[in-house]
Chain A
Amino acid sequence: DAGITQSPRHKVTETGTPVTLRCHQTENHRYMYWYRQDPGHGLRLIHYSYGVKDTDKGEVSDGYSVSRSKTEDFLLTLESATSSQTSVYFCAISESRTAAKNIQYFGAGTRLSVL
């Protein structure tokens, strides 16, 4: 299994509080991604990173920010959590854009409930 650790694995928080989720990889892969998964939707990209300090928005980025200060860590922050952000969050990594190496590997996920 790819060395990807997400923390925390479960979190319950209140509306309006800030929340930070962490993704840590030991594979030295360049690309990292944050997705959310909700019933009736495929995984949807929140933000991604293509290198240290290089990040960009995905399709559902409103209300989220990210940071990548080291190759191995990619943080997802909910500035002020809302109930619509209750979801399962997955981090993924991939090595390269070339066809042979653009496979994504996923962390175990974080279940976030915003009450």
Chain B
Amino acid sequence: RKEVEQDPGPFNVPEGATVAFNCTYSNSASQSFFWYRQDCRKEPKLLMSVYSSGNEDGRFTAQLNRASQYISLLIRDSKLSDSATYLCVVNNRAAYKYIFGTGTRLKVLA
């Protein structure tokens, strides 16, 4: 079993739709959680950190469920520019270890 698992997609959604991704992690000692966005042939860029209480940044909402060991990303009012691959990243700070999921691909259709 992979340490961090994501549905690879693609998720094809129309503009304006709401879409949600989940990511599960296996190490209960994980301490920090992130969502990164990666455009084709580009570097990953931080979208948002994920806090225990959940957090929101504009159209994006991230949630953490420690009991079930998953994090989620909700995108409201999808834009064409949201088309990208979304990477789930989990960190166990004690080991300097960032574990990356393989990503979920989103295509927002006009």
Task: List the interface of chain A (C-beta within 8 A of B).
Answer: 31, 33, 35, 40-45, 48, 50, 56, 90, 97, 99, 102-109
> In the bound complex, how far is the Cα of B62 from the Cα of A79, in angstroms?
42
The reply on B1 being an interface residue by CB < 8 A is no
> In the bound complex, how far is the Cα of B45 from the Cα of A107, in angstroms?
10
Can you list 12 residue pairs at the A/B interface with Cβ under 8 Å? A35-B100, A40-B102, A41-B102, A42-B99, A44-B100, A97-B93, A102-B32, A104-B46, A104-B89, A104-B98, A105-B46, A108-B42
Asked if residues A42 and B87 are in contact (CB atoms below 8 Å), the reply is: yes
Asked if residues B99 and A103 are in contact (CB atoms below 8 Å), the reply is: no
Task: List the interface of chain B (C-beta within 8 A of A).
Answer: 4, 31-32, 34, 42-46, 49, 87, 89, 91, 93, 96-103
Asked if residues B43 and A108 are in contact (CB atoms below 8 Å), the reply is: yes
CB-CB nearest in chain B for A105:
B46
Residues of B within 8 A of A35 (CB): 100
> In the bound complex, how far is the Cα of B89 from the Cα of A23, in angstroms?
22
Asked if residues B100 and A42 are in contact (CB atoms below 8 Å), the reply is: yes
